Amino acid sequence: MKWKKLMACTLVLSLMGGSSLLFADSFKEHVRVWMNGQELKDGGYLIEGKTYIPVRDINGAVHWDKDSGKVIIIQPNVHIFLFKGNTVFGNVNRGKLKFNVFSQIDTLNDNIHSVKVAISDPAGKVTDIQTQEVKNSKDNFWFRTDDFTYDFNTVGKYSVGFYIKTSAESSFVKVAEKVITVLN
């Protein structure tokens, strides 16, 4: 007789637990989120008709200021131009190429420590092109790298990234990129 009561209690508690999970899921639903043609790793949640995504998944430097309870996102508007001599380019043939990168940065409303330009090959290997501290933060400025020789030895898409570092202790975060397609 005791085992019947124990089994009945287990069944009731199981049903209650399952229904509370169903109730909780009705308030939040996991959703797949795509940004610039790529799916965000952690996705997002739909809660009461609003979609929430992890703030670190957007292209910007994120800083949590626990003293003020603020999340600060720094995402300037960056335009990247690639120059071979005085000629702008986007696609190249395989082989070595000497070029420089011109970046126009505007709507930068927060102070940053430094900027960096780097290139990544189709396999994901990143090579730094140039890094520079930002002495006088402005809402807009230009950054041009020195000439840089790079061996585009594999056909595919290479990414020239523009990175910012918010403080001396923080890491660089990519906030913009330009794609170079290497042909034949």
pLDDT at 3 over 80: no
| Location of structure tokens 């092109």 | 129
pLDDT at 12 over 50: no
How far from 149 is each of 84, 91, 141, 158, CA to CA, in Å? 10, 16, 25, 14
Task: Report d(CA 92, CA 180) in Å as an integer.
Answer: 7
pLDDT attached to residue 11:
45
Answer yes or no: are the C-beta atoms of 163 and 175 closer than 8 Å: yes
168 has pLDDT over 60: yes
Beta strand extents in the chain (DSSP E only):
28-31, 34-35, 38-39, 44-47, 50-52, 61-65, 70-74, 77-84, 87-88, 91-93, 95-106, 114-120, 126-133, 141-144, 148-152, 156-165, 173-183
How far apart (Å, rounded) are the C-alpha atoms in residues 32 and 53? 10
- Quick one: pLDDT band at residue 64, thresholds 50, 70, 90? confident
Question: Over 50: is that where the pLDDT of 20 sits?
Answer: no
* 62: three-class secondary structure by DSSP: strand
18 three-class SS: helix
* Confidence grade of residue 62 (pLDDT, cut at 50, 70, 90): confident
User: Model-level pTM?
Assistant: 0.75
